[in-house]
Amino acid sequence: MKHILILFAIFSIIACKSKNEKEPVNNEVVNDSIEMATPSTPTDFNKLAISEEDEEILLGRIDRKGLQRSQFKPWFDSIYHEYSVDTANLGKINPLLPNVDIQIFMGTWCEDSQREIPALFKVLDASTFNYENLDLVAVNREKQTPQKFESNYNIEYVPTILFISDTTELGRIVEYTQESLEKDMLTILSGEGYKHAYED
């Protein structure tokens, strides 16, 4: 009987540990409690951090759920609903999207990111883009993350939206578009020699 109780206790501890390891990602979207982003949590999504300006920001890998937190939802929803998708150019973009990865570096503190990223989500929602090919990273004002996700990408301004095919960068939109999201994307994806805002 003693052995059965010991086995039951061990099983209970193991079961609780497994359960607790899965819960933080789900719970953190429901409430806005701060879980600091650190280098030891590279796979955690939607971590809040306090900036040097004493503001709550997302830091590290994020997804759309992170941008629906109460701190960020008003600007995200406002721009998303206001943006009108250019369906004519979207039709030209769709055939070029398969096998394209999109890597985004943004700042939840940044007005340019607050303008461009919700609009980009609306364009992608209307397209045939596979969201499994999207990697979204939130940086601090120094354009850095604790996990160094920005390494090797030469991020100077945000947002920076990179379009990648087979590990080759096709082009990037930096801070703001040259014409529109759809026209800039079409130029990049069709290989027409796009130059971003800070490129000579």
Q: Domain limits at 59? A: 51-200
Confidence tier at 160 by pLDDT (50, 70, 90)? very high
**Element housing 168 (H / E):** strand 168-174
Does residue 162 sit within a domain? yes
Does residue 176 sit within a domain? yes
Could you tell me the CATH number of the domain that includes residue 194? 3.40.30.10
Q: What is the pLDDT of residue 5?
A: 42
Choose among 118, 137, 111, 109: nearest CA to 50: 109
Does residue 119 sit within a domain? yes
Burial pattern 24-56, b for ≥16 Cβ within 10 A else e, equals: beeebeeeeeeeebeeebeebbbbbbeeeeeeb
Q: Which residue has the higher pLDDT, 26 or 35?
A: 35
- Per the structure, the count of domains in the chain is 1
Q: Which residue has the higher pLDDT, 200 or 191?
A: 191
Confidence tier at 43 by pLDDT (50, 70, 90)? low
Does residue 20 sit within a domain? no
Does residue 33 sit within a domain? no
Does residue 63 sit within a domain? yes
Q: What is the pLDDT of residue 8?
A: 42
Q: Which residues contact 70 (CB under 8 A, 6 or more apart)?
A: 32
Rg (CA), the chain: 20
Does residue 35 sit within a domain? no
Choose among 152, 151, 70, 75: nearest CA to 107: 75
Does residue 59 sit within a domain? yes
